[in-house]
Amino acid sequence: MYPYRHLFDFTREIFLNIGCPLDDAQLATQVLLEADLRGIDSHGVARLSGYVRLWEAGRINAKPSISIVHETPSTATVDGDGGLGLVVAPRAMEIAIKKAENVGTGWVSVRNSNHFGIAGYHAMQALQHDMIGMAMTNASPLVAPTHSTQRMLGTNPIAVAVPANEQPPFVADFATASAANGKLEILQRKHEKAPLGWIQTAQGEDTDNADELKQGGSLLPLGSDLTHGSHKGYALGAIVDIFSAVLSGANYGPWVPPFVSFLAPPADPVGRGIGHFLGAMRIDAFRPADEFKQHMDNWITSFRKADVKRGEEAVLIPGDPERIMTAIRLQKGIPLLSPVEKDLAEVGRKFGVKF
């Protein structure tokens, strides 16, 4: 178990060593480690070495000059200048929040960025302002549309955060695939089988082989098959791709550059970097915030009290599992798998930083 503070100091030191300004290193660390706190281990410190390798490959700019390239009172298009998504996205979200303060809502489409950690972090930035926050991003293609065998979309997550009064906020944060790639990676490490309905082979057959993506297989959209609504998951992933990248001028669909540095980006890009879409809506642009938050409390408590299926403990509100995990990990520390420990020690050695 690693204390949060320990991982924080180490990670910040690494970001400083690749040349991030102090503020950026601090911010990137906070965003990255929020994943570990919330129990989304695939998106946290386990990815630190991946960001470093992208930087080594010249595909991340540690000192980006993030700029608004186009705007209206309620919108902006932001160019991330090839920076860490962990830095670009929260800065873009600040712009969305500022616009919402001025005209009720703010919507920012971002190009020329990189992976931004967990979508939930960025959506949650809105909460302290009594706003609803939204965040989405496209990602390297792993998901095949309904009827297709080709990886055309990333797992393109959507996050929505809604403030409540006495209840904790509603925080939904989910991939638009049937299962996030992180879940698959865990099965791969443990050499376990995947549930049917997550993955198809290169020929489009349902498979329980968690390693199938290495043989040309693909992830299935939320819904798994047409009968169970995979065209809806496909549409959701497509909407995220269009809002994040076609609106901003980033790469979309099969052109999204891969996160792993050993795979080269497509030679014929249709835009710059990867794209995000961030939104903030002021509650009191619709009704008084106190009134809304009291109704959110009522919404949340009525869903918590809904009849529970036999064998289950409780009906959960989106965000409950992550909030409970955060409390545990802040107290007891964050567990790391031994390959991740080794990987971090290796990254530390590169820069003479002790892990």
Binder among 58, 262, 268, 306 for a second copy (CB under 8 A): 306
Q: Toward a second copy, which CB reaches closer, 186 or 315?
A: 315
Angle, helix 4-17 to helix 338-351, in steps of 10 degrees: 40
Provide the pairing of β-strand 274-282 with 158-162: unpaired
Cα–Cα separations (whole angstroms), residue 295 to 46, 126, 132, 282, 289: 39, 18, 14, 16, 10
Stretch that binds a second copy, among 3-11, 14-22, 42-50, 139-147 (CB under 8 A): 139-147
Cα–Cα separations (whole angstroms), residue 273 to 88, 112, 137, 257: 12, 4, 12, 7
Q: For residue 173, which of 136, 221, 140 has the smallest C-alpha distance? A: 136
187 to 206, contacts with a second copy by CB under 8 A?
Answer: 195, 197-198, 203-204
Q: List the x/- string, 215-254, binding to a second copy by CB under 8 A.
A: -------xxx--xxx-xxxxxx-xx-xxx--xxxx--xxx
Question: Least Å distance between CB 263 and a second copy?
Answer: 19
Distance CA 8, CA 45 (A): 9
Distance CA 303, CA 301 (A): 5
Distance CA 103, CA 279 (A): 13
64 to 123, contacts with a second copy by CB under 8 A?
Answer: 70-75, 77, 103-105, 107, 109
Q: Toward a second copy, which CB reaches closer, 12 or 275?
A: 275
Question: Least Å distance between CB 43 and a second copy?
Answer: 16
Binder among 314, 327, 337, 345 for a second copy (CB under 8 A): 314
Q: Count the residues in the chain.
A: 355
5 to 64, contacts with a second copy by CB under 8 A?
Answer: none
147 near a second copy (CB under 8 A) = yes
- Both tokens of 107, joined, read 């919507």
Q: Are 20 and 87 in contact, with CB atoms under 8 Å apart?
A: yes
156 to 185, contacts with a second copy by CB under 8 A?
Answer: 160, 162, 170, 172, 174-176, 178-179
Q: Toward a second copy, which CB reaches closer, 56 or 205?
A: 205
Binder among 30, 42, 81, 315 for a second copy (CB under 8 A): 315
325 near a second copy (CB under 8 A) = no
Q: Toward a second copy, which CB reaches closer, 30 or 150?
A: 150
Q: Toward a second copy, which CB reaches closer, 53 or 239?
A: 239
**How far is Cα of residue 313 from the mean position of the Cα atoms in its chain?**
28
Q: Toward a second copy, which CB reaches closer, 192 or 341?
A: 192
Distance CA 325, CA 311 (A): 22
